Amino acid sequence: MPQPGAITPEIQDRMLEVGVDLSAHPQQRAGTYVHLNDRPLEARAEVDGLEVMDIKQALDRYEWLRDLYGTAVPRDRDEFTRAAEEELHGGYFIRALPGAQITVPVQACLYLLTEGMVQRVHNVIIAEEGSFLPIITGCTAHFGARRGMHIGISEFFVRRSATVKFIMIHAWNEEISVRPRSAAIVEGHGAFLSDYVCLERVRDVQMYPVARLVGEAATARYRSVVAAPAESNLDLGSGVRIEAPGGRAEILSRNVSTGGKIIARGRVEALAAGARGHLECRGLLMSEQGQIVAIPELTAAHPDVELSHEAAVGKIAEEEIHYLMARGLSRDAAIAAIVHGFLDLGIEGLPPVLQKRIDSLIALSDTEAMEGKQ
Amino acid sequence: MASQNPWMQKPARGEPQPSDDGLVVDSATLAVADRVVLRELSLHVPLGETHVIFGPNGAGKTTLLAGLMGMPHVKIVWGDIRWRGASLLGFDITERVRRGLAMAFQRPPAVSGITLRRLTELILSNNGNGNAGAPPPPEEVQQRIFTLAERLDVLDLLDRDVNAGFSGGETKRSEIFQVALQNPQLVLLDEPESGVDVVNMDRIGRMIRSLLQRDERPGNRTVTGLIITHSGYILNYVNADCGHVLADGRIICSGNARDVFEHIHEHGFEACAQCPPCQVAERLRRRRES
């Protein structure tokens, strides 16, 4: 077992699986934050116009941050937000200064190293006016840390005409519980684009990030690609509340169960004129033991809004498999191609290892169950 | 009409050898969901020839092609299907492709998340039909895709999900495009002209003609074809060797493709039942009896 404080090659390899490359050249990563167990290890910005530091340090440095802190996700929202504040371990503070165009992602890793650890972090991300801020966050656990818990509070503040592109990749272990609590506040003409990927077995994840579009013509998009192997329980959702005119919301999710349970929630609330929202939830059941529940919600509180949703849950259509087999693919290759295609939401910047993860996922599926239902 | 057709009378190539006699459907009874659709159907398409099947709606034409291709929903409950002397029964779809079969579907399913480009890359990385050998290098794959896509005017479709929202003409062009990349020996085409406008018909017709080597000397043709057609437009592009009428679950007439078509056009499918017995079926029957 590596000692806390030392980033061993093993840890680095695990980090790579969630898109965090500590050996990356500054031309590939604009900044880096690493948090191991209960302490921050590394925080640095490689480019001008970018700040990366531990949240405690940032709270010491910026008085105004203390007023902002806890306004998107109230500290007393639930037992997990309270637990994080009672014994805060740290978290990342990432800020793009006004007008800064960060062209390559800032990377952050929240790493659970020790068996039984309850990690409590609070992250604050600010994209100041007119800035562009891409971030890739990998949350993962060491292979030796089978049991544990991750509590992660994340608050996003997207100022006027700014954009945050946020990718979060989870890769946990079988006895780890995960409780992210996340919210974004998006000002006029701002855009918050969030992608979430979780393909490995985990005991349970429960999260429901929400974006509030408080300025006119703001945009929020949540995309998620999720797999639930046997004994995984994922209760996931995304919500967008359009509070100002002309807001746009899009929520897309792709869910695959190879034996686990997924609850895929989504909610768009349109409260202002010209709001547009679309919600799409698709699920693929690859085992008779699995379960996928799709719960889309649309709320219109203004006559001039357009909201729509699509939800489809089922197994792979045999007709599609046969069609690809007629093009020379074996049955297994056809299923693999369909699942890869199903999970491909066009998220850029994902580590190549995730493709292999999808292959191993397919290998775990109950193909006999699928073949028996022609 | 059938007794005068030249296909029946040509002896030049002699009787095909049993080991290499093209496609033989030998008294096959095909069922879908426990319902017999085709009963003791016999059909022979010698190697290098292209035959056309006509028939009214619901005659079982698509079921026949699906059965030849090995689609699991079609069960062969009696008889045999042989390709180049070997029975195809017991082989799944992929194995039949490996043996040289390829099919253009009439109504192919949309496959979400897989672009036409990705599918054709998969086809070519598999050497078109899954046969052994090193796949072509990526540059060659892209070049072959581009060249054929340009010829069939499917460049605009390459980055769209396969068949998702394709128009009738786009679907047919895409199907022929894929089949051509499969480098097949036995081409099965299910109504390649349905839902296609005049301009697209010309493009598709020429491609099929090329795919089936119809401009080659008969003795040099190595690709065998079986085309299902409802409208008969494909005959303007493909000089088929023989036409068959499928009705009531069996072949009721065979002869020169254009003659058969014109006869149907003038008198309807009902009149075909009055024609002399199919000589192909007769030949198969005689062979079985001997």
Each residue of A248-275: pLDDT tens digit? 999 999 999 999 999 999 999 999 999 9
| Domain interval for residue B285 | 2-108+183-289
Nearest CA in chain A to B126: A328
Average pLDDT over residues A70-77: 94
What's the CATH code of the domain at B47?
3.40.50.300
What is the pLDDT of chain B when averaged over all its residues? 85
**Least confident piece of the model among A129-138, A315-324, A354-363:** A354-363
Q: For the ranges A173-177, A272-276, B14-18, B36-40, which has the lowest average pLDDT? A: B14-18
Residues 170-199 of B with CB under 8 A from A: 178, 182
Whether residue B7 is contained in a domain is answered as: yes
**A208 SS3 class:** coil
Q: What is the DSSP secondary-structure string of chain B?
A: -GGG-HHHH--TT-SPPGGG--EEEEEEEEEETTEEEEEEEEEEE-TT-EEEEE--TTSSHHHHHHHHHT-TTEEEEEEEEEETTEE-TT--HHHHHHTTEEEE-SSPPPEEEEEHHHHHHHHHHTTTT--SSPPPPHHHHHHHHHHHHHHTT-GGGTTSEETTT--HHHHHHHHHHHHHHT--SEEEEE-TTTT--HHHHHHHHHHHHHHTTTTS-GGG---EEEEE-SS-GGGGT---SEEEEEETTEEEEEE-HHHHHHHHHHH-HHHHTTSPPPHHHHHHHHHHH-
d(CA A105, CA A243): 29
* Domain membership flag for residue B116: no
pLDDT at B21 over 60: yes
Chains A–B, number of C-beta pairs less than 8 Å apart: 73
Which pLDDT band holds residue B16 (cuts at 50, 70, 90)? very low
What tens digit of pLDDT does each residue of B172-210 get?
999 999 999 999 999 999 999 888 888 888 889 999 999
pLDDT beyond 90 at A128: yes
Strands B161-162 and B111-115: antiparallel
**What is the rounded average pLDDT of the residues A170-198?**
95
pLDDT digits (tens, 9 = 90+) for A284-338: 999 989 999 999 999 999 999 999 999 999 999 999 999 999 999 999 999 999 9
CB contacts under 8 A, A 318-347 vs B, are 318-320, 322-331, 333, 337-338, 340-344
Kindly provide the ipTM of the predicted complex, given to two decimals: 0.88
Mean pLDDT, chain A, rounded, equals 92
B52 domain-assigned:
yes
Q: Is residue B144 part of a domain?
A: no
Query: What is the reported pLDDT for B25?
Result: 95
Residue B160 located in a structural domain: no
pLDDT class of B2 with cuts at 50, 70, 90: very low
* A79 interfaces chain B, CB cutoff of 8 Å: no
Our count of domains for chain B comes to: 1
Looking at residue A372, its pLDDT comes to 41
Shortest Cα distance from A197 to chain B (angstroms)?
Answer: 17
Judge: A374–B72 Cβ closer than 8 Å, yes or no. Answer: yes
Across B2-22, average pLDDT: 45
DSSP symbols for A278-295: EEEEEEEE-STT-EEEEE
Q: In which band, very low, low, confident or very high, does the pLDDT at A194 lie, cut at 50, 70 and 90?
A: very high
Q: What is the pLDDT of residue B80?
A: 95
Q: What percent of chain A has pLDDT over 70?
A: 96
Of residues B108, B113, B130, nearest to A328 (C-beta): B130
Q: Which pLDDT does position B287 carry in this prediction?
A: 55
Within a domain: B169: no
Burial of A160 (0-12, 13-18, 19+ CB in 10 A): middle
In A62-100, which residue ranges form alpha helices assigned H by DSSP?
A: 63-68, 79-86
- CA distances, B229 to each of A23, B65, B192, B204, B243 (Å): 62, 12, 7, 14, 10
Question: What is the pLDDT at residue A219?
Answer: 98
User: Assign residue A274 a region: left if phi > 0, alpha if psi is -120 to 50, beta otherwise?
Assistant: left
pLDDT at B47 over 90: yes
Question: Does some domain include residue B164?
Answer: no
Q: CA dist A189 to A49, A132, A215, B57, Å? A: 21, 12, 7, 57
Closest residue in B to A346 (Cα) is B113
Which carries the bigger pLDDT value, residue B280 or residue B102? B102
Region B216-245: what's the mean pLDDT? 92
Residue pLDDT, tens place only, A213-230: 999 999 999 999 999 999
What integer is the mean pLDDT of A22-32? 90
Residue A43 has pLDDT above 90, yes or no: yes
With cut-offs at 50, 70 and 90, classify the pLDDT of residue A6: confident
Q: Is residue B161 part of a domain?
A: no
